[in-house]
Amino acid sequence: MSEPFGNPLLVVPDAPGPHQPRSGRRGSGFLDGPLRLGTTPSATVGPYLAIGMTWPDGAWAAEEGTAGAFWIRGRILDGAGDLVADAMVETWQADPDGGFASPEDPRGAASYPGFRGFARSHTADPPGEFAVHTLKPGRVPDGDGGLQAPHIDVSVFARGILDRVVMRIYFADEAEANAEDAVLRALPEDRRSTLLATPADDGYRLDIHLQGERETVFFAV
C-alpha cells in the first residue's frame, strides 16, 4: 500500500458563525443562534496507554477490605478470538445505596465509606484480562417511575479502537431486577447475556467480545 490515501490532506474549517471557538460574539450579551462549539474528535489510545492512563490504585473502586467488596474479572477478545492485551476498561457506578459520588447527581453527591465509584484496569497482566474491585451497585431510578437493575457503565479503550466503546455490566444473580430493567428489556433476549456477569470464586466474571458471534451489546451514549 504505497499510496494509502488518494486525496491530498483535506482540512476544512468550521463554518463561520456560532460554531467558532473564541468567537467575537462573546460578551455581546446577544446570540443570534445557539452557541455551540464543535466537539474535539476522538482518537485511539494507541498501544502505550499505560504511560499516561494507569494508576497504581486504578482497579480499586472499593478499597481493600471494604465489607461486601468483590472482584469483577473478564477477558477482552477480538474478532479472531484473540486476547486484547493493550486495552483499558473504566467502570462507573452507583454505591450500594444507589448514590453517585458526583455533584452532577441532582439528588446530591453521595459518599460511601471506602468507595470511589470509578475504576480503571489495564489488560496487560494477565494478558487480555481486566479486574476491578468494587461493590454491588444499588438500584437507581430510571426516570420513568421505575428502578434500574444494578449495573455498571463501562468504557473500553484500546489500540485499534478510534473511539471508546461503551457497555454495561449487569449481574446474572439479579434476575428479578433485570427482568424490570428498561435497558435490558429493550434488547433481543439472546443478546442480553452478553452483559450479564456470572458469579465466580471471588466475585463475578464477564468477557467482553469486541466482535464475533457473541459480540457484546455496545451502546451509543
- Told to check if 80 binds other proteins by CB under 8 A, we report yes
Q: Which residues make beta-bridge pairs with 90?
A: 120, 155
Stretch touching Fe ion by CB under 5 A, among 31-39, 46-54, 115-123, 147-155: 46-54
**154-177: burial string, b at 16+ Cβ within 10 Å, e else:** bbbbbeeeeebbebbbbbeebeeb
Q: How many residues bind other proteins (CB under 8 A)?
A: 91
- Told to check if 104 binds other proteins by CB under 8 A, we report yes
Q: Which of 46, 79, 81, 126 binds Fe ion (CB under 5 A)?
A: 46
Stretch touching other proteins by CB under 8 A, among 43-51, 64-72, 169-177, 198-206: 43-51
Residue 39 interacting partner from other proteins, Fe ion, none (CB closer than 5 to 8 Å by kind): other proteins
Q: Draw the binding track, 128-157, toward other proteins (x: CB under 8 A; -: no contact).
A: ------------xxxx----x--x-x-x-x
Residue in 121, 125, 1 with CA at minimum distance from that of residue 53: 121
Instruction: Determine if the peptide bond prior to 126 is cis (ω within 30°).
Output: yes
- Told to check if 21 binds other proteins by CB under 8 A, we report yes
At 189, which helix (H) or strand (E)? Answer: helix 189-192
Residue 1 interacting partner from other proteins, Fe ion, none (CB closer than 5 to 8 Å by kind): other proteins
Q: Which of 55, 97, 175, 202 binds other proteins (CB under 8 A)?
A: 55
Residue 155 interacting partner from Fe ion, other proteins, none (CB closer than 5 to 8 Å by kind): other proteins
Structure-derived torsion over alpha carbons of residues 178, 117, 107, 111, reported in degrees to the nearest 10: 130
Residue 142 interacting partner from other proteins, Fe ion, none (CB closer than 5 to 8 Å by kind): other proteins
DSSP 69-97: -EEEEEEEE-TTS-B-TTEEEEEEE--TT
* 71-to-134, 142, 152, 194 alpha-carbon distances in Å: 6, 26, 13, 18
Instruction: Find the shortest distance in angstroms from Cβ 201 to other proteins.
Output: 27
